[in-house]
């Protein structure tokens, strides 16, 4: 199910995609957008932005959505960006499940997250 959230600073509404609609190509797009810097903080920050660019379906901001123009995320006020980052955190486990444990991912809406 899509999720609509209201950003705290701008008051804009953002519609996030339904996690069941995500595909492997979305994961690959996130990888391609991530910074290859060896600094872990830089990598983590770029992963958050890349994740948001794939998840944001629409918004009421006067900016092109980040899936079309990635740099739009840089125009967000920091409070709004941080709020979006928190709202998309749960999607990280869905897109990048932990395959090392051999156990199902309890956060996944799928029957078997390790398949």
Residue 74 forms part of a structural domain: yes
- What gap in Å lies between CA 55 and CA 15, rounded to an integer? 8
Outline where DSSP puts E strands in 1-115: 3-6, 13-16, 56-59
Single pTM value for the model: 0.74
Output the pLDDT for position 90: 82
Average pLDDT, the chain: 83
Measured N-to-C along each axis, helices 40-55 and 78-87 cross at an angle, to the nearest 10 degrees, of 80
Residue 112 forms part of a structural domain: no
| Residue 32 domain boundaries | 3-95
Provide the 3-class DSSP secondary structure of residue 47: helix
Residue 79 forms part of a structural domain: yes
Number of domains in the chain: 1
Output the pLDDT for position 96: 75
Share of the chain above pLDDT 90, in %: 46
pLDDT digits (tens, 9 = 90+) for 69-98: 999 999 999 999 999 999 988 888 777 777
Which 8-state DSSP code applies to residue 43?
H
Which 8-state DSSP code applies to residue 111?
S
Residue 31 forms part of a structural domain: yes
Residue 58, phi-psi category: left (phi > 0), alpha (psi -120 to 50), beta (remainder): beta
């Amino acid at each position: 199910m899509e999720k609509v959230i209201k950003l705290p600073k701008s008051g804009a509404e953002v519609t996030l995609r339904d996690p069941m609609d995500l595909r492997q190509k979305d994961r690959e797009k996130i990888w391609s957008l991530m910074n290859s810097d060896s600094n872990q903080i830089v990598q983590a920050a770029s992963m958050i932005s890349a994740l948001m660019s794939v998840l944001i379906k629409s918004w009421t901001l006067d900016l092109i959505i980040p899936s079309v123009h990635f740099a739009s995320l840089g125009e967000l006020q920091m409070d709004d960006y941080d709020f979006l980052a928190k709202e998309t955190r749960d999607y990280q486990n869905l897109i990048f499940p932990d395959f090392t444990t051999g156990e199902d991912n309890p956060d996944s809406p799928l029957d078997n997250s390790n398949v």
